[in-house]
Amino acid sequence: MGTGKDLRISEFVDQDDKRSVIVQASQGIMLGPSGDERLDEALEVLARAGVDGIIMSRGLASRCSRIFRGRDSPAMIMSLDWTNAFRGSGHPLPMMRLEHLVLTSVSDALTLGASGVSAYFFVGYERDEYEARNFESMASICRECDDLEVPLLVQAIPVGERVTKENYADSVAMASRMAVEAGSDLVAVPYAGALGEMKMIVTAAKVPALLLDLELRLADGQPDLGFAKAASEALDAGSAGVVLGRRYLEVGNLAEAERLIRLVHGG
């Protein structure tokens, strides 16, 4: 990693415990408003509680820039891509066919003040072509990130028909390892089962692996566990922190978010 990347990564990975708590706030661009009406308030609480980074789309980042002021504030991580993967059955336009494309360039993200960028890597498509395209675009993002010294967080997620309960953990491991080999600097992986599975995934990843809060069932094989419990297990397995889902932007869940931050960073 070059010096710029090191510096920027240190803006959202704590230098003492080498862990990070990031909260996902980019769902709006994918889903529309989703329970985050009092977003500013929620972000304030989370910032005070010590959240390390917030993932946002470019439009939201300009509107919420206040939260990033000062060196003690969370870092801004810009989400680069868009997908309809998270539009479940409850959504007015549920996903029919998985679409995924890149909206913002790394260069633009940097220009807008981002400390890092985030992108999805999905595996398990019915058609191999989609995985290939997704991988291509992720690799190209990696190149640009290296060039501009911007840290990249890839959310490696098994999704779709070919994913089963039996191959879930291996799919996660494969996706995250592929992302790392392409050049990603951190990976976020969904809960893939008991301690052993998580350990395997973390070891295979070789870069900091964060536990991703995946609220929706995106594949049949996706194991179900309360996130707080999953986080605890994942940390024991060696993961470097968590990426909190949009539910933690709801006022009612803020207390638990604070607990999770304390869980990750101790104290």
Partner 1 sequence: MGLGQEMRLNRIFDPNDGRAVAVAADHGLMLGPISGVQELGKTLEKVIEGRPDAILLSPGQAEDLCHLFMGRRAPSLLVRIDWTNAFRDRTYTLPVRETFFSSIATPRDALRLGAHAAVVYLFIGHEDERQEARHLALVSRYAAECEEAGLPLIVEPIPFGPRVTKSNYSELVATAVRIAVEAGANALKVPYTGDPESFRDVVRASAGTPILVLGGYRALSRRDLLDVIAETLGVGGSGVVFGRNVVQASDPASVLRDIRAVVHEGRSVREVVAGGALSKTTRLRVYAERCSGCQVCTAVCSFTHEGVHDGSASRLRIEGEWPGPFKPVTCTQCERCVAACERKALSRSSLGHIDWEAERCNLCGKCAEACPFRVVAIHDSKVKICDLCRGAPECVEWCSKNALGAIA
Q: Taking CB under 8 A as the rule, which mask of x and - marks residues 106-125 in contact with partner 1? A: ----xxxxx-----------
Residue 40 in the binding site for partner 1 (CB under 8 A): no
User: Which span (5-13, 131-139, 193-201, 246-254) binds partner 1, by CB under 8 A?
Assistant: 5-13
Q: Under the criterion CB under 8 A, does residue 7 sit at the interface with partner 1? A: yes
The identity of residue 110, as a single letter, is L
Residue 125 CA to residue 91 CA, distance in Å, equals 21
Question: Does position 164 bind partner 1 by CB under 8 A?
Answer: no
Is 112 or 200 the residue whose CB approaches partner 1 more closely?
A: 112
Which residues face 75 on adjacent strands?
A: 53
103 part of the interface to partner 1, by CB under 8 A: no
Going from the C-alpha of 236 to that of each of 106, 230, 231, the distances in angstroms are 33, 10, 9
User: By CB under 8 A, is residue 145 in contact with partner 1?
Assistant: no
Q: Does 169 bind partner 1 (CB under 8 A)?
A: no
CB of 3 vs partner 1, minimal distance in Å: 4
Beta strands in the chain (DSSP E): 20-24, 53-56, 75-79, 81-83, 100-102, 116-123, 152-158, 186-190, 209-212, 241-244
User: Which residue from 29, 45, 102, 148 is in contact with partner 1, where contact means CB under 8 A?
Assistant: 148
Residues 53-92, mask of contacts with partner 1 (x by CB under 8 A) = --------xx--x--xxxxxx-xx----------------
Residue 154 bridge partners (DSSP): 119, 187
Shortest Å distance, C-beta 4 to partner 1: 4
Residue 149 sits in the site that holds partner 1 (CB under 8 A): yes
CA 98 to each of CA 70, 87, 134, 156: distance values in angstroms, whole numbers, following the listed order: 39, 10, 11, 15
Report yes or no: 263 and 231 within 8 Å, Cβ to Cβ.
Answer: yes
For residue 6, what is the DSSP state?
H
236 touches 201 (CB < 8 A): no
Q: Nearer to partner 1 by C-beta: 106 or 218? A: 106
- Give the footprint of partner 1 on this chain (CB under 8 A): 2-8, 10-12, 14-15, 52, 61-62, 65, 68-73, 75-76, 110-114, 148-149
